[in-house]
Structure 1
Amino acid sequence: MLGVSRLPRSTPEAQGLSAAALDSFVGALDAGEPEIQTIMLLRHGQVVLEEAWAPYRPEDPHLLFSVSKSFTSTGVGLAIDAGLLSLDDQVISFFDADELPETVSDNLAAMKVRHLLTMTTGHSQDTVEALSRDRRMVKIFLGLDVAHEPGTVFVYNSGATYMLSAIVQRLTGERLLDYLRPRLFEPLGATEATWQVSREGITTGGWGLSINTESLACFGQLLLQHGEWKGEQLVPAEWYEAATSRQVPNDNEENPDWKQGYGFQFWRGRHNTYRGDGAFGQFCLIFPEYDAALIITSATTDMQGILNTVWEYLLPALEGKDVPSVSRPSRLELLPPTGSAPAGGDGRTYRFTGRNDAGLTAVRLDPDGTGVFTFEEFGGSGSHDIVCAPGDWREQSAPGTVNDASPEAGMRVVTSAYGDGDAFVATVRWVETPFVARFTCRVAGDSMTVDGKLNVSFGPTEFTLTSEV
């Protein structure tokens, strides 16, 4: 089904919306600081707005980060409906004695499935960093200190979602993605779905899912239809009713749309909305009162800023009110940076040691003004080259990774380059993720220095590499 429309299309007016108001919404997104990559709006089950900022395309799979959690919730709901577990089962009951600590604390013993779902495990901070350092992620999670009584304190915890995935795998004998394929992804037509797997062989659950914009829109419509799809009840309506309701308070969060309560791996939001969201601006935002779903993929550190634009421009359009007028460009695109033609290089390969968040290991600047950049592959299994040349975006395919984020080989990449004095400046967009990197390369004597800058990152966004001599 990839690349085939699965949702019906309609004009905004036919679904009670103003096309001019939606144009203003798009114009406001385009003019804002956050970089928007794709959007899709559904109203009454019809696609009334779909846009992509070139070189991004709606049919490309996109890394969703923590939107993955809402799909993990779905898998847990299906397993509960199948009688494999209950919300009140102890977490420790699913794991072997050699995975448990020598002494099981009262708080660990009291931790239930519902506490994993509601991020109230009792941990004092997100456990994901401790887990990701080792392949024994389940054992490490169970061995961490549980400082609070489960159910009493909300702490956003991606490690808790990983444990939900581990539990589903223990009970079904299948990884979460494989369990969901025939039950969710294939009925929705999301056959392109991929999902990262941990080093101990478990679907990561809390992150790592990649699907395209329309597939995520289908999921949003499934939520609006209370789990029903084309006459079949894929997911129990009662599960989504509970999962998208306020199960626990989370007033300790800072941003207004992140302190409206939390469900089973869904955020409650202002204006009676709920959503799955992921790092750097990935959204599946549901407006139950208006029978609407908004999908956004983007690259930003200001996710609240995107929602503020939604409340200012889209919400009044759904309410039938006047929307502030903002002109939208005739073409939505993210142009490559421009400058002078780069000077030809010496054709030598300069190699770099030490880890960097872009995974860059070597650079070669050729006499014809092009550059070849070598990146390590996800998991350190090899390396691949990306060519950067002046002019329009140059498209290529690579199994590369930024921040260990890309789940599989064959990722679409676009590149461009220009000269800045004695520097060769290359831009790389991994367009199936939010990530963009700029590399400013200078050669002095027998050495090359690369100043790298990432648009968004879980770690530092800037770094400097100096080649081996």
Structure 2
Amino acid sequence: MSRRAVLPRSTPRASGISSQAITLLLDRLEEKSIECHSLMIVRHGHIVAEGWWAPYTAERPHLLYSLTKSFTSIAVGLAIDDGLLSLDDRVADVLPEHVPIDVSEQARLINVHHLLSMTAGHRADTLAEAWQLEPSDLVKGFLSLPLAEIAGTRHTYDNSTTFILARMVERVSGVGLPEFLGKRIFEPMGINHAEWDRVGSGAAFGFHGLHLQTEAVPAFGELLLRGGVWNDQQLVSREWVELAARKQVDSSHYAAGADGADFLCGYGYQFWMSRHGFHGNGAFGQHCVIIPEHNLVVVVTSAQREVQQAQDVLDAIWDLLLPGMDRAESAVEDQALSDRLQSLSLPLLSETVGSDHSVVAVLDASPEGSALPHATVVSIVSVDGGWRVHFGSLLDVEVGCGRWAESAWLGRPVCAIGAWRSGFFVADIYVITGPHHLRLNVDVEAGTATLTWNTVPLTSSDLQLHLRAPLITRPDVA
């Protein structure tokens, strides 16, 4: 996949940032054991630092999870700018065919403002319950659920609200959310590799599922910093950007008990307020941090395993990067940072003595996070430069020896590296367009194998769904 520069480049020194501060930021992320996939820092509209941890690269789109919500917010703003929607418009009026016959009067009052601020009146995320109630109609399921609070009074992080906003935008605009944002935002900005995960009906999730090359994310942040202006064109109104990025309600952290200071600063319209500026955030560590006071945007994509690590990233920015503003250093320091950024890599499995012959095993799917069906036959064949692993008739994966090998048996790419370890064949398999990877363990003597996720994708543990193009990871719902 080709890559097109969306933002101009500069150096930390020329943009007034300490390259040593960026180095300290990298050190802190390593100390906190955060598996980073990419980092981009933009100041005064120029990218001053960028790096990808191999096998991740600049050309590959990365799953943004709930950072997608911030893009949907802009779509709502565009519809409001066009006079097609208003903050007072009610779900029941815009999507009347989705209203249950016995809908409560309280549910009838839920409007665009309530959805954007996640203050519809529920005390927990409604997504699973609403889909269980109405698999073919999430909007109807959502409106059928009892409400514990008066709309507009309590913030509860709720994925259903953004799904409904996406459907409302589509209804009033007459086009799908991907097409709407593509024409109005992505195309004018030169972002040409947006991919969307979809539900069984073909609709984009809206609250999750947008895949973008890393550079598109800080460009989005820069668009917000500029008040919706790009190349002298007002893509979305300044009024909407300011409204969306302003505290609308006191926020509650999405994980009870987590130390999330920056998630308790308030919630806007699908944006989190922060101790400095505001940010969009996606599961497993997808960050777009916008800091207007320093004309700064920081983007991190990663595979965080713990909720606390989201706060760790923000703490590192506040503690280490911000003190480096307006404290530029020498060109030598800039070059040292550039060299480090160009050599970033995830750990490589080391090769040891193993079998050159074909190995056959049967998959045990009982471990938590198993990715393929029980009793799938796993066979390993030596090839030049590594191995080819067959998972029955389901898929094949190329596995490199001392290097990453790429394959795309079902249409979407994976990168894998393997090694022999004392009678076991092990391989790390990365679904390279997202934060998740798998560990394959094959016990040659026992003839058994396991294939488990490091972190299970939120939509499905079925690996095949994440490797098929186009992406429909919840074919069971609409």
Q: TM-score by structure 2 length?
A: 0.85
Instruction: Report the CA distance between 1:443 and its aligned residue.
Output: 4.4
Alignment of 1:193-232 (within 5 A): 193-232=194-233
CA–CA separation in structure 1 for the residues paired with 2:138 and 2:354: 47
Instruction: Report the CA distance between 1:384 and its aligned residue.
Output: 2.6
CA–CA separation in structure 1 for the residues paired with 2:325 and 2:453: 39
When structure 1 is superposed on structure 2, of 20-29 and 273-282 the one drifting more is: 20-29
Q: Give the counterpart letter for 1:298 in structure 2.
A: S
> Percent identity, aligned pairs only?
35
Q: Is the 8 A contact 2:265 2:273 kept in 1?
A: yes
Q: Is the 8 A contact 1:341 1:390 kept in 2?
A: no
Alignment of 1:139-154 (within 5 A): 139-154=140-155
Specify whether residues 227 and 350 from structure 1 end up closer, same or farther in structure 2 by C-alpha distance, changes over 3 A only.
same
Partner residue in 2 for 1:243 = 244
When structure 1 is superposed on structure 2, of 286-295 and 140-149 the one drifting more is: 140-149
When structure 1 is superposed on structure 2, of 386-395 and 184-193 the one drifting more is: 386-395
CA–CA separation in structure 2 for the residues paired with 1:132 and 1:200: 13
Specify whether residues 218 and 2 from structure 1 end up closer, same or farther in structure 2 by C-alpha distance, changes over 3 A only.
farther
Partner residue in 1 for 2:110 = 111
Instruction: Report the CA distance between 1:117 and its aligned residue.
Output: 0.2
1:266 aligns with 2:281: no
Instruction: Report the CA distance between 1:457 and its aligned residue.
Output: 4.8
Specify whether residues 107 and 355 from structure 1 end up closer, same or farther in structure 2 by C-alpha distance, changes over 3 A only.
farther
Specify whether residues 198 and 385 from structure 1 end up closer, same or farther in structure 2 by C-alpha distance, changes over 3 A only.
same
Residue 362 (structure 2) aligned to one of 331, 350, 360 = 350
1:410 aligns with 2:421: no
Residue 304 (structure 1) aligned to one of 301, 311, 316 = 311
Instruction: Report the CA distance between 1:435 and its aligned residue.
Output: 0.8
CA-based RMSD of the aligned residues comes to 2.7
Higher relative contact order (CA 8 A, sep 6+): 2
Q: Is the 8 A contact 1:118 1:154 kept in 2?
A: yes
- CA displacement 1:126-180 (0-9 Å, x = unmatched): 1222345523222222222222211111110011100000111111221101111
Partner residue in 1 for 2:69 = 69
Residue 349 (structure 2) aligned to one of 305, 320, 337 = 337
Partner residue in 1 for 2:127 = 128
Specify whether residues 457 and 201 from structure 1 end up closer, same or farther in structure 2 by C-alpha distance, changes over 3 A only.
closer
CA–CA separation in structure 2 for the residues paired with 1:95 and 1:119: 18
Deviating beyond 6 angstroms after TM superposition, the runs of 4 or more aligned structure 1 residues are 352-356
Specify whether residues 248 and 365 from structure 1 end up closer, same or farther in structure 2 by C-alpha distance, changes over 3 A only.
same
CA–CA separation in structure 1 for the residues paired with 2:317 and 2:35: 14
- CA displacement 1:356-405 (0-9 Å, x = unmatched): 74532432123668351439xxxxxx943212243211122344xxxxxx
5+ unaligned residues in a row in structure 2: which ranges? Answer: 462-478
Instruction: Report the CA distance between 1:66 and its aligned residue.
Output: 0.5
Q: Is the 8 A contact 2:369 2:453 kept in 1?
A: no
5+ unaligned residues in a row in structure 1: which ranges? Answer: 376-381, 400-408, 462-469
Residue 262 (structure 2) aligned to one of 254, 257, 260 = 257
Q: Is the 8 A contact 1:18 1:317 kept in 2?
A: yes
Specify whether residues 161 and 345 from structure 1 end up closer, same or farther in structure 2 by C-alpha distance, changes over 3 A only.
farther
Specify whether residues 353 and 287 from structure 1 end up closer, same or farther in structure 2 by C-alpha distance, changes over 3 A only.
closer
Partner residue in 1 for 2:468 = none
Instruction: Report the CA distance between 1:96 and its aligned residue.
Output: 3.1
Q: TM-score by structure 1 length?
A: 0.86
Length, aligned pairs only: 439
Q: Is the 8 A contact 2:363 2:449 kept in 1?
A: no
1:435 aligns with 2:436: yes
